[in-house]
Amino acid sequence: MGRRPAGLLQRPIVPKKTPSAADDPGQVKATITVKQAARAIPMGEQAVRRAVARGELPSVRVGARVLILRKPFCEKFELSLDYDFGEP
Query: Where do the structural domains in the chain lie, given as residue ranges?
Result: 28-76
Q: Where does residue 65 fall: left (phi above 0), alpha (psi -120 to 50 degrees), or beta otherwise?
A: beta
Give the pLDDT confidence of 6-63 residue by residue, as tens digits: 555 566 666 665 555 555 656 678 999 999 999 999 899 999 999 999 999 999 999 9
Distant-in-sequence, close-in-space partners of 65: CB < 8 Å, separation ≥ 6: 33
Rounded to whole angstroms, how far apart are CA atoms 7 and 27?
Answer: 41
Q: Collapse the DSSP code of 44 into the 3-class scheme (helix H, G, I; strand E, B; otherwise coil) and give the result.
A: coil
pTM for the structure as a whole: 0.69
Classified by CATH at the fold level, domain 28-76 comes out as: Arc Repressor Mutant, subunit A (1.10.10)
